[in-house]
């Protein structure tokens, strides 16, 4: 099984591989633009998760969450897919956002995504294709509607693109100093083969 994960790491240029969910390989740097996790070749398997719309696991492309206390009012994180010679791109699987909201959570209205080319700011954004409504699950201590998930059927996002996440309720989108005020977000992609 390890060889399969190493093949996935090689396919995505090793930039999406990390030891396990929640562990930042970049030393937990703060700032509005969180770094994509980095791992040396052969060190660990990528973080993966199955979603209902995919037959293969999706890998964690971006994660700016941390275990420090949060407040509300997160702003959209700046997410850029680095250009790598062996990365063709990825197919968007899902976006997860976190809404602790003082333990009250919030019902998920929507999460939308567009991919834009930073080299062509006037270009038309490529919108994500949502599969059904966003769903939510309970968080710590059974707090309702804390973890929101929106599954997507694309778009295909080539390397070098920016991913723009719009949360339907930014007033309750969790953030803190560790995320640089950006709303807690996880972006999951399927490797293009």
pLDDT in tens, 50-67: 777 667 788 898 999 999
pLDDT in tens, 107-164: 988 899 988 888 776 777 777 888 888 999 999 999 999 999 999 888 888 888 889 9
Cβ–Cβ < 8 Å for 102, 73? no
Give CA–CA dist 39/63, Å, rounded: 14
Tokens 């099984």 belong to 1
Of the chain, the percentage scoring pLDDT greater than 70 comes to 70
pLDDT in tens, 92-117: 899 999 999 999 999 988 899 988 88
Task: State the average pLDDT for the chain.
Answer: 75
pLDDT at 173 (0 to 100): 97
Q: pTM for the full model?
A: 0.74
* Contacts of range 48-54, beta carbons closer than 8 Å, 24 or more positions apart: 48/5, 48/8, 49/94, 49/188, 51/93, 51/94, 51/149, 51/151, 51/188, 52/131, 52/151, 53/93, 53/131, 53/151, 53/152, 53/153, 54/93, 54/190
SS3 call for 110: coil
């Amino acid at each position: 099984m390890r060889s399969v994960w190493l093949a996935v790491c090689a396919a995505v240029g090793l930039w999406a591989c990390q030891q396990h969910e929640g562990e930042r390989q970049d030393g937990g740097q703060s700032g509005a633009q969180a770094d994509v996790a980095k791992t040396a070749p052969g060190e660990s398997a990528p973080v993966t998760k199955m979603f209902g719309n995919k037959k293969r696991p999706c890998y964690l492309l971006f994660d700016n969450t941390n275990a420090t206390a949060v407040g509300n009012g997160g702003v959209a994180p700046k997410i850029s897919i680095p250009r790598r010679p062996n990365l063709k791109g990825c197919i968007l699987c899902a976006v997860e956002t976190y809404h602790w909201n003082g333990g009250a959570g919030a019902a998920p209205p929507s999460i939308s995504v567009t991919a834009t080319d930073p080299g062509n700011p006037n270009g038309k954004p490529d919108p994500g294709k949502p599969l059904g409504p966003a769903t939510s699950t309970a968080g710590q201590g059974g707090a309702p509607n804390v973890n929101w998930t929106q599954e997507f059927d694309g778009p295909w996002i080539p390397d070098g693109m920016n991913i723009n996440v719009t949360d339907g309720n930014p007033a309750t989108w969790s953030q803190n100093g560790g995320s640089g005020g950006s709303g807690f977000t996880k972006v999951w992609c399927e490797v293009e083969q």
